[in-house]
Chain A
Amino acid sequence: MSPKTLRAMKVAVFILCLLPLGKLALEAFGVAGMSLGANPVEELLHRCGKWGLNFLLITLAITPLRRLSGWNAAIRFRRMLGLFAFFYILLHFLVYAGLDQRFAMQYIVEDIVERPYITLGIIALVLLLPLAITSTNGMMRRLGRRWQKLHRLVYPIAILAVWHFYWQVKQDILEPLIYAGILALLLGVRYFYHLQRKRKQHALTMDKKLRSETP
């Protein structure tokens, strides 16, 4: 792909990623009869959380997609998608802390300590912070191999996020179960690749060993 096409595609993906926010904004301001419904705070909270989780899973889907399709340029979009996941999750948290709790520390701390699903959510968000901070080219260069290690944190983050979703539903667990299924698939595929790589390495070393032993 030429650098020009890549740039154009990046702009297109960027705009696509902003569409959910745009729709929320139109609804919040009541443009063209759109609205957030009877409980706007809840609607904002849920929609931002849902899009945060969606982008988290989309980001995790890039590597398998790349392997299956052979389209290597897919990796060029991963950072942006990951940052959008962080963006929507941060909004989700700000809606909770600002609109729902009106920044009343006493209630926020009580929730984090006493409501297990919120404990999970805040752990996931805190773990996301270093990933967002180290997403620049400079940081990538500086951290070298450690960068990749650090960014494997996204696996436990995704598990915490789906768990948080599962624990906060009142009764109907179908939707979080679907998310859990998709996450299991994405992590399962990675584990499969991991095993494959290991087997190859093993075969390679065995091969070398055999060759060195035969005179």
Chain B
Amino acid sequence: MKQPNRIKSWEITSESNFINRRAFLASAGLAAAGATLLPATGNAAVRELETVPGPYSTDEEPNSWEDVTTYNNFYEFGTGKEDPYRYAQDFVTEPWTVRIEGECEKPGDYAFEDLVAPHALEDRVYRHRCVEAWSMVVPWVGIPLGDLLKRFEPNSDAKYVRFETLYDPRRMPGQRRAVLDWPYVEGLTIEEAMHPLTLMTVGVYGKSLPNQNGAPLRLVIPWKYGFKGIKSIVKIEFTKRQPRNSWNVSAPHEYGFYANVNPEVDHPRWSQARERRIGAGLFAEKQPTLMFNGYAEEVASLYSGLDLRKNY
């Protein structure tokens, strides 16, 4: 699908500028354009969201819509960086149901709309650091994961939260090859899940998530490597024991459970000390990677006493 030109040409200089521009678009009624046509599916269904400014936003300049939506790791749609953009266009995410289970009082199957409806959608501009040593700045839209999880009333045995991506090789062509052990699974400690930085994300740039970014809902944990941000979630389980996560299962000596951004602990095959900022151009220097991706003040206390070299 082609994005309308007005989005492509968005030149965002700052967060406030971006929010103003979107408010203008919404008030001009442009958001409703297309609503009179046939019901859209796939990425054609990407639409404007009602959002409020959220906390924790960086004032660094966000990456362009193109960067954010064409350079993705989403192996369910292929292992190339542009594969998700190419092969996820027609992926249909309506209807979408999320199963909640495990150590909580209100397990069950919840429709995507019912999960999201009670919450205000917050704009949050976060740094995003991939384990492959590149980074972006992304204006996400979402709800604090903790606020969502509390509705299911986790009990005192809920020490961890396990997440699972849709498994459907007919709709996700990348799953037809066993590159990873499908379905993709991820996990957080309950403290990490409840941390106010952790975002259950439903949009980007003020719009609902394009498929290649993990529609209709995905995690964003800005102090961890990007692979912790599991996409197209269909299951959330509260567990007593630490769950395994897909990359850890596939290469335990390279990817751990925590996967906190840490410039001092290298990946066995490359350095994590510096990162290439996407969009900085052909001649830009790499920039130093910050401890916890620059969110140390907010999250370092979660890991006091933990050996981060061992628990990578």
Contact = CB atoms under 8 A, between A and B. Distances in A.
A194 interface: no
Interface residues of B, number: 27
A111 B134 CA distance: 17
A102 B81 contact: no
A37 B69 CA distance: 11
Nearest to B282: A40
A117 interface: yes
A115 B81 contact: no
A146 interface: no
Contacts, number: 51
B256 to A, nearest CB: 16
B71 interface: yes
A39 interface: yes
Given A115-B269, A167-B269, A37 B282 contact: no
A112 B238 CA distance: 45
B79 A38 contact: no
Of all A-B residue pairs in the complex, the 9 with the closest CB atoms, nearest first, are A38-B71, A172-B79, A38-B67, A40-B282, A38-B278, A172-B179, A102-B285, A39-B278, A171-B179
Interface of A: 28, 36-42, 44, 99-100, 102, 107, 110-111, 115-117, 167-168, 170-172, 174
B250 interface: yes
Given A37-B70, A39-B81, A167-B269, A174 B177 contact: yes
9 contacts: A37-B70, A38-B71, A40-B282, A168-B269, A170-B132, A171-B179, A171-B180, A172-B75, A174-B177
Which of B71, B82, B269 counts the most A-chain CB atoms under 10 A from its CB? B269
Contacts of A40: 281-282
Contacts of B278: 38-39
User: Does more than half of chain B's interface fall in helix, strand or loop, or is it mixed?
Assistant: loop
Contact of A38 (B179, B251, B279, B285): B279
A39 B269 contact: no
A37 B71 contact: yes
Contacts of B134: 39, 42
B271 interface: yes
B282 A28 contact: yes
A94 to B, nearest CB: 13
Given A36-B282, A110-B271, 20 more contacts: A37-B71, A37-B81, A37-B82, A38-B63, A38-B66, A38-B71, A38-B279, A39-B71, A39-B276, A40-B282, A42-B276, A100-B276, A100-B286, A107-B271, A116-B269, A168-B269, A171-B75, A171-B250, A172-B75, A172-B79
Interface in B161-210: 177, 179-180
Interface in B260-284: 269-271, 276, 278-279, 281-283
A55 to B, nearest CB: 22
